[in-house]
Amino acid sequence: MPQKRKRYDKQFKIAAARVVLGGEMRAVDLARELGIKDSTLRRWAQEHGEMGDPRVNLVDGAFDVEARNRLWVDGIAYIGTGEGWLYLAAVIDAFRRKVVGWSTSTSPDMEQQELLLDRLLERVPEGAKPVLHSDMGWQYQHEKWTRRLKKARIAQSMSRKGNCLDNGATEQVFGHLKDEFFRGRTWPDFESFKADLDAYVVHWNTRRRQVKLNGLTPEEFRSQSLVA
């Protein structure tokens, strides 16, 4: 294990990254021992480690990040209707709770995930290198998913098996969505549902005020952070 020191050269960063990626220590614990921020250690793992390894959890429950586009959280909401199940795949910025990409489908297949990635990768700001965290669903271990993330230089992080609380950021957003948008409503067809859901996501990002963002919307919170 790397020893604490005042300055960190490239070889030291590589060694620390391997400790985290190899599962020897959690990023949060090693960062505390080295006297650095866990976000710094996650960045080292992203820069010097192997991305797209489904065994790696770069987040370890530390969803409180200091800036936008550092940590994105992925998940799928299962929405039951009288006509069957509908599926919302969404990626949320952990810093401002903004939905940065989403797709809706009647089947949770790779076609839906690739559409999500198409939309998501269009929105990655120049120079940004976010960590994308998810559970261990089969979609996130699929070769098409891991290959495209690696090509885009987005580090993949996955929860440990059976840790249902480690994806709390998406579950909070999905919970509000079901309470505020879906519960008690019906739609004549999938296209009507999809159009209304798209409108709700825009509402969530631009008009829905949130206690965790000091009463601001995700877009207002983003503007405030840019000024600060």
Low-confidence ranges of the chain (pLDDT < 50): 1-5, 51-52, 226-228
Q: How far apart are CA 51 and CA 156, in angstroms?
A: 6
The pLDDT of residue 190: 86
Amino acid (1-letter code) at residue 121: L
User: Phi, psi at residue 106, to the nearest 5°?
Assistant: -90, 0
User: What is the full DSSP assignment across 1-69?
Assistant: -PPP-SS--HHHHHHHHHHHHTTSS-HHHHHHHHTS-HHHHHHHHHHHS-SS-TT--S-TT----SSTT
Q: What pTM, to 2 d.p., does this model score?
A: 0.68
Neighbours of 51 (CB within 10 A): 22
Helices (H), 162-189: 168-177
pLDDT computed for residue 176 by the predictor: 82
Identify the pLDDT of residue 118: 94
125 contacts 69 by C-beta, under 8 angstroms: yes
User: What are the phi and psi torsion angles at 79 (to 5°)?
Assistant: -120, 110
pLDDT at residue 227 in the model? 41
Select from 120, 67, 123 the least CA-distant residue to 95: 67
Question: What confidence score (pLDDT) does residue 114 get?
Answer: 94
CA-closest candidate to residue 190, choices 56, 47, 46, 85: 85
Closest CA to 156 of 144, 168, 164: 144
N-to-C CA span, the chain = 37
Predicted pLDDT of residue 101: 92
Q: Are 113 and 139 in contact (CB under 8 A)?
A: yes
Contact 208, 132 (CB under 8 A): no
For 16, residues 6+ apart whose C-beta sits below 8 A from its C-beta are 2, 8, 30, 34, 41, 44, 45
Do residues 166 and 160 touch, judged by C-beta distance below 8 A? yes
The structural domains of the chain, ordered by start, are: 10-48 (no CATH), 71-227 (3.30.420.10)
Question: What is the pLDDT at residue 1?
Answer: 47
